[in-house]
Structure 1
């Protein structure tokens, strides 16, 4: 028998053309007809009418809203359907996250809150067994690794490159085993992966939703339009055609699509008939058997087949659905939202940690009622594949940002309460969220204030602080009362332009702070009598700036970078850097009508236009920082900075409003051209974790016919990318997700900003042309790239911690007039810094007397002589202010005990059995982390 598994499903975007609220309620149907509450109402009603019917649901963020509105008797009914396996949850995260532009820490968080709700509501029957990413636009290896560690038996998706799909169909390799880590011992990160036959739509001609136009099954033989024979024949043909490109006698058909099943009766009435009439043919010798099914039932049958499966070790980027349609634009789309999401993630981690360290008073204390949940949910929604990806309508992007802002307001109260408890000071705390454009009303006007620096990382951090001020001379003391070197610089013209009239500081106060692990340090700033005049900038480029680690050289004629040296290792490379733009295709092209848009990057030429061949320059050099300010055009500027103690050069770029008076959309890049001999290879991170090798015009598992020489060589960069040869490695750490590539040998380019004038016909229906009240003529974006030059063997020892500092940056809070002498000015939540290889990924309150802790080994097995070794941590000796009374280990998503997690075993075609090393566990409290391992614990704690 050929068994056809019909999977009734709906794909419900957590925001896209409408906001998440509008989708739930079915509001704004003038934009798109979609109402999730009605879908769930209707499906439950129809499941009750026939015990054979099945349905799967995916997005817990929507289901949670619906569940809260149901009566207890309806909740009982739904529990019964779940227990019977007729309503099955798949994936189960708060949303279906994007895979290119998300950071792994935020993905783990959003999966955890969705799965926790399902666990607590439905128990083991509500636990999804299958990951389901039917719509994301390309697939990241790190996502597969995470899903494997979350206990999923398999993973299904809909989109992959059209050339890859064609090859896989011929070879019957649309179902495979994905080995998603080169460091974790198989099968820890092995994930069975299935590519669905029709994206996630029904086969052609078999869509029976109210939004569809296919003919229903007309089965009254007395009526002249009877069509059962025709429908059955077409279905048998579709089933056999599909079976010819898959490996077993089981195939899957997704019966549903975007926001379908609002009137579930239409679908189920026709599916019931389809099953009845197709199976009726078996009496006449047909070998096709159709059944209601779910992805986990289908997967179980594939597992029972006991076959071997092809093995994949790379990823599914970039994705193209046609020769000129590469979905690589969204790696950069909406760069301001991408940065805001990343900052919000950092704020959430600090908020979660301070909730634990401050105790119950942090939630309800001196400054009112605060919570971490609002920001946690806003962040979870922001991981959706039309959220941080930048592929939503403008009003929806605004809604995502508003949710993050509201979540942060709730967290600010919690953080203030926690810090009041930990410091013993009830002084009001101020948060300045616009420091990147030198705006902070308190520091601009106050003659004396304190700044508390909270560090969410598990090791001591040195961090440069820049505060907007109007004085010219200040004294700063640290928590021990020692003087701290500080300098005052004038605010640049570029900053004045970008902040408009939001702040009025003339100067910036710059100093270096040090914050202890999982703790804070407080600095007191006092205005001195303005005795000195400010040092004026030199109006020309210096030929060199340097500190004890690095030297950066410039061409005094052009003002551009010319070289970078590591003074410790005596390495020197040629390095030029400039800004360019690609003209965006407008669709008037003989090869293809495809335009550049929110999803798709399609330049109309392979040669980008240089913004300027020289920069206007001024420079400052003092004991804290040396900076060279470069102006390339009225809309492009940059500051090259080197702080006294830094092992990285900072490039702070400001781009916008991108001019479009020539009616030409532009994709703005910065390009670093070096003397490094790369042989067409470069390296990018996957969701901020493991690094993957990339090669120009090449895919590891199939023969690529390259049709877009630029867009077809772009990859997602989440936190870093690098180029290297045998001697030198240049690493670029980014402050948000961006797209980039290495088009020429020795070169690395990163897309910074996109302003486009046409839609790209992928459904969003508007051009990516952002503006706001403050920036009516187009969006201005500012960001940072950090460059480090190291020998390849030790580069990860520098860039891994650097990337973590950018992702989990210190949180600054201010108090006017400083803190009272009796206040505690310094605190660390840890007894000692964690070893360099260990990152404290999660510390959050779970319930009243337990906390969730995730520790990760942040190095790959091959990356570092020093840090790629197993590390042991004693949980009982971890915290300074908490006693750990007991602990249990969970899977990565914290919805099963680790020792109870069991997954299907799969056999790859070419298997080499790995040699397993065993490590003795000397103490019950000691846990060992191997390279790239994340371990999740529920700790029972009490305050010391």
Structure 2
């Protein structure tokens, strides 16, 4: 056995975790990793998967898997198992007796049960925002740390099922202190090349801003996705024959199994570089009857290793990803031994015409609900709970909690949740969980606002303002509006409300008149937008401050989704895969009927392209951003054609086949048409093969102009022609793409039985490239963290506190308040980030020092002590050590942030 020793924080104690079996130097060591992949919702809901309900849809019951695995681990100390999805394990753990919990803790301490990844779920990498990923990792890792201590801490990231891999995920994992990252899905052309050159393991340099090796992460591509080698699956759901080792029986097959395994191992080592190879022994929801797997694996190990006496050089052992990685590290290979990767793994294709780029946009309504729920979590659940203290959780409006929303948002990050690749009833369940979280958090807000304002007037939450519905404002002659800014800097925000009538006056908290208009429209003197008088379409965009003008035309189109009758391939477009029948787009209308509304607040041009596509082009006073509010649906399918609806911006910008997209809302990557930075692409799908995830923004530029489009949810897009940028808005399909979900992406609802209607916003800015980041980075944060708007009937009562600031001073422009949340009754979790890349801005891409006692700390608290995570980590928390202090004044805690750096702190505070 190999003994791993971990120091427990700064407390001077040590925990011994016995984990890894001994390998045999000079031999080919085959690391068998027993595992199960348990989707936190996909074909069944989270609850159905855990309990094993609805087996008519899919046979799967997670509670039985964990019961069976623990039982089998206890029967043989050589056995190992890894587990990933903390959401399921947490639920199982709560239902165990104290004796069973002690038994499981022993298995973890001895390294026989190992947690990998450790987040609440295995998140999607294309459609998730980094702030939500960090949150879901936090609650999963905190549970493991609180429950099992250092031996429960995952040391390996394990993303075996997501459909492409984002550089920002690798960067976050590296900053969290993970030793390695393993995944299973890889573009078929990239995999073929890597096999030939034996480059299936690499060092991923996941940031161009963070100084190496801060964001460097060893990354391994698993040999069989996450399945066992062909012929070696021994689950109750498998058809492979068991090992029959009684020589007196006619069907004795040990020699055949061993011979086949030796062949598989020799083939695998031929595409890897070291004398260690890893094999995943398990798959989707396997090990419900773990005895089947372990009985055969025990035999496999015994009989293969017996061949060593006859000269075999293959040694098989039970192992885990961290043990495998440990042996690679011990080989002490020189740094150039593994290649360096600096780009990402999008888009992913598993065959020539099968690009998994449709899910970048699938279920756009759910994607938007998840995004605004993330804002709700940060603003209402987290910030308000901290600002209100104990009163927020138990006040005049009842008992509220943030746990419901945190767990609902965490589950929504799963790679078959926000991705839009689940069955319809599962998507409905994700939305229901988020709605329940909203309800619980609204109690927190009401309690907090009552305490801060001194008014116990009931708070009203209008959750349908996006469709201009708010019963209070539409029926009341007098009402009060409370606007809370969640960003740690001042922002301007226009509030648009549905009202009944035209004779309204608006005053601020001091009774001064506020400029307003009853018609919701926009005017701006920094930007200038022109329309073609004949077509009613956008024709140019100008930035009057910088004296820039670009030709800009925009319209709506659709691709005809493949139904499988294409001459090149039978692949259909579906929830995962985007495959148009051709590169031809069908224009929805060459002209738009328009109506113009202008006043001192806003100016609008309202466009109608068809009965199912419309848009409002909006400019707010003193804004440098053009807003496009689009409405698409119900997408017609009476012609029996599935449709992929896009909007496209055609400009005079000379983009030279290059455009840029963000990675999970943080760093930006360059994309080039029909090109991959680290391998030679044979392009077989000129549209789908050039689509990338756009999580928050994309842009095209030349030497003089940069046009940036900020999105309000994750969407797919590309630059198919020079100077062009297209974004997919909605998908309605008639066929399944045969990737497991088993139903077409054809959404409807009780409100829209003819098909789902989706509304969203795109924000456009035009700037010189050298300063464009000064606009699009803070703008993207404003879209993610929107102000909280609440209402009360009538005017504010006397003696009400009309204004409140949660911060003593604003943060510097380069610093973003990523998280402030209640950790324990007297502990606050504070997470700060430098939101600029090193190359972004001469003004803001510099290190910034923040005084933790002044800038980010809520004004309701006094800082008593501070704790910094005891190891390099963005979200993990284990032990305490003092915060850095200034030399001149030891009572002042300061932290310096470098571009793209995230720092997490625990602050011990008390109310003023």
Give the alignment's TM-score, normalised by structure 2: 0.95
- Which residue pairs with 1:345 in the alignment? 374
1:932 pairs with 2:909: no
1:882 pairs with 2:861: yes
1:881 Cα deviation from its structure 2 partner: 1.7
- Which residue pairs with 1:329 in the alignment? 358
- Which residue pairs with 1:2 in the alignment? 28
1:743 pairs with 2:746: no
Aligned partner of 2:180 among 154, 158, 163 = 154
1:886 Cα deviation from its structure 2 partner: 1.4
- Which residue pairs with 2:475 in the alignment? 445
- Which residue pairs with 2:330 in the alignment? 304
Report the more deviating stretch, 461-470 or 661-670: 461-470
Aligned partner of 2:838 among 861, 864, 882 = 861
Deviations 1:533-592 (A, max 9, x none): xxxxxxxxxxxx962210000011110000000000000000000000000000011211
1:24 Cα deviation from its structure 2 partner: 0.1
Secondary structure of the residue aligned to 1:29 is coil
1:877 Cα deviation from its structure 2 partner: 1.2
Cα contact 2:523–2:600 (8 A) shared by 1? no
Cα contact 1:183–1:931 (8 A) shared by 2? yes
1:424 pairs with 2:454: yes
- Which residue pairs with 2:910 in the alignment? 942
Cα contact 2:523–2:599 (8 A) shared by 1? no
Cα contact 1:546–1:552 (8 A) shared by 2? no
Distance 1:676 1:662 in 2: 37
1:178 pairs with 2:220: no
Distance 1:476 1:259 in 2: 58
Distance 2:383 2:531 in 1: 43
Distance 2:672 2:889 in 1: 44
Aligned partner of 2:827 among 838, 850, 853 = 850
1:896 Cα deviation from its structure 2 partner: 3.2
Secondary structure of the residue aligned to 1:826 is coil
Cα contact 2:120–2:137 (8 A) shared by 1? yes
- Which residue pairs with 1:528 in the alignment? none
1:895 pairs with 2:877: yes
- Which residue pairs with 2:292 in the alignment? 266
Distance 2:245 2:799 in 1: 85
- Which residue pairs with 1:277 in the alignment? 303
Matches within 5 A, 1:692-711: 692-711=669-688
1:382 pairs with 2:364: no
- Which residue pairs with 2:390 in the alignment? 360
Cα contact 1:180–1:313 (8 A) shared by 2? yes
Secondary structure of the residue aligned to 1:931 is coil
1:324 Cα deviation from its structure 2 partner: 0.2
Secondary structure of the residue aligned to 1:474 is coil
Judged with a 3 Å threshold, the aligned counterparts in structure 2 of structure 1 residues 338 and 237 are, in CA distance, closer, same or farther, namely: same
Aligned partner of 1:617 among 574, 583, 594 = 594
1:818 Cα deviation from its structure 2 partner: 2.2
Cα contact 2:397–2:447 (8 A) shared by 1? yes
1:645 Cα deviation from its structure 2 partner: 1.8
Matches within 5 A, 1:532-547: 547=524
Distance 1:23 1:921 in 2: 58
1:394 pairs with 2:424: yes
Distance 1:382 1:283 in 2: 52
Secondary structure of the residue aligned to 1:885 is strand
Report the more deviating stretch, 378-387 or 879-888: 879-888
1:305 Cα deviation from its structure 2 partner: 1.4
- Which residue pairs with 1:74 in the alignment? 100
Distance 2:166 2:796 in 1: 47
Distance 1:219 1:182 in 2: 55
Aligned partner of 1:434 among 464, 468, 476 = 464
Aligned partner of 1:63 among 76, 89, 92 = 89
Aligned partner of 1:317 among 322, 337, 346 = 346
1:756 pairs with 2:782: no
Matches within 5 A, 1:493-512: none
Secondary structure of the residue aligned to 1:855 is strand
Secondary structure of the residue aligned to 2:509 is coil
Aligned partner of 2:63 among 37, 43, 46 = 37
Matches within 5 A, 1:802-817: 802-817=779-794
Matches within 5 A, 1:696-845: 696-845=673-822
1:898 Cα deviation from its structure 2 partner: 8.4
- Which residue pairs with 1:134 in the alignment? 160
Distance 2:523 2:546 in 1: 14
Distance 1:546 1:749 in 2: 26
1:821 Cα deviation from its structure 2 partner: 2.2
Distance 1:818 1:59 in 2: 49
1:922 Cα deviation from its structure 2 partner: 7.8
Cα contact 2:523–2:602 (8 A) shared by 1? no
Cα contact 1:682–1:721 (8 A) shared by 2? yes
1:93 pairs with 2:123: no
Distance 2:880 2:185 in 1: 32
Distance 2:770 2:267 in 1: 51
Deviations 1:186-235 (A, max 9, x none): 11111100000000000000000000000000000000000000000000
Aligned partner of 1:370 among 389, 392, 400 = 400
1:478 Cα deviation from its structure 2 partner: 1.0
Structure 1 gap segments, 5+ residues each: 490-507, 511-544, 901-918
Secondary structure of the residue aligned to 1:48 is helix
Distance 2:523 2:114 in 1: 61
Report the more deviating stretch, 94-103 or 304-313: 304-313
Aligned partner of 1:666 among 643, 662, 669 = 643
1:897 Cα deviation from its structure 2 partner: 5.2
Deviations 1:625-684 (A, max 9, x none): 000000000000000000002110000000000000000000000000000000101000
RMSD: 1.4
1:309 Cα deviation from its structure 2 partner: 1.3
Secondary structure of the residue aligned to 1:784 is strand
Distance 2:809 2:109 in 1: 47
Deviations 1:316-342 (A, max 9, x none): 000000000000000000000000000
Cα contact 1:343–1:807 (8 A) shared by 2? yes
Deviations 1:86-121 (A, max 9, x none): 000000100000000000000000000000000000
Deviations 1:689-747 (A, max 9, x none): 00000000000000000000000000000000000000000000000000000000000
Structure 2 gap segments, 5+ residues each: 1-26
Judged with a 3 Å threshold, the aligned counterparts in structure 2 of structure 1 residues 546 and 446 are, in CA distance, closer, same or farther, namely: closer
1:921 Cα deviation from its structure 2 partner: 9.4
- Which residue pairs with 1:690 in the alignment? 667
- Which residue pairs with 1:532 in the alignment? none
Cα contact 2:543–2:766 (8 A) shared by 1? yes
Distance 1:645 1:57 in 2: 53
Deviations 1:860-917 (A, max 9, x none): 00101111111111001133221111111122123335879xxxxxxxxxxxxxxxxx
Give the alignment's TM-score, normalised by structure 1: 0.92
Aligned partner of 2:509 among 471, 476, 479 = 479
* Count of aligned positions: 875
Secondary structure of the residue aligned to 1:467 is coil
Secondary structure of the residue aligned to 2:458 is coil
Distance 1:479 1:872 in 2: 34
Aligned partner of 1:413 among 443, 466, 471 = 443
Report the more deviating stretch, 675-684 or 817-826: 817-826
Cα contact 2:523–2:601 (8 A) shared by 1? no
- Which residue pairs with 1:649 in the alignment? 626
Cα contact 1:684–1:694 (8 A) shared by 2? yes
Distance 1:611 1:299 in 2: 54
Deviations 1:170-193 (A, max 9, x none): 111100000000000111111100
Secondary structure of the residue aligned to 1:463 is coil
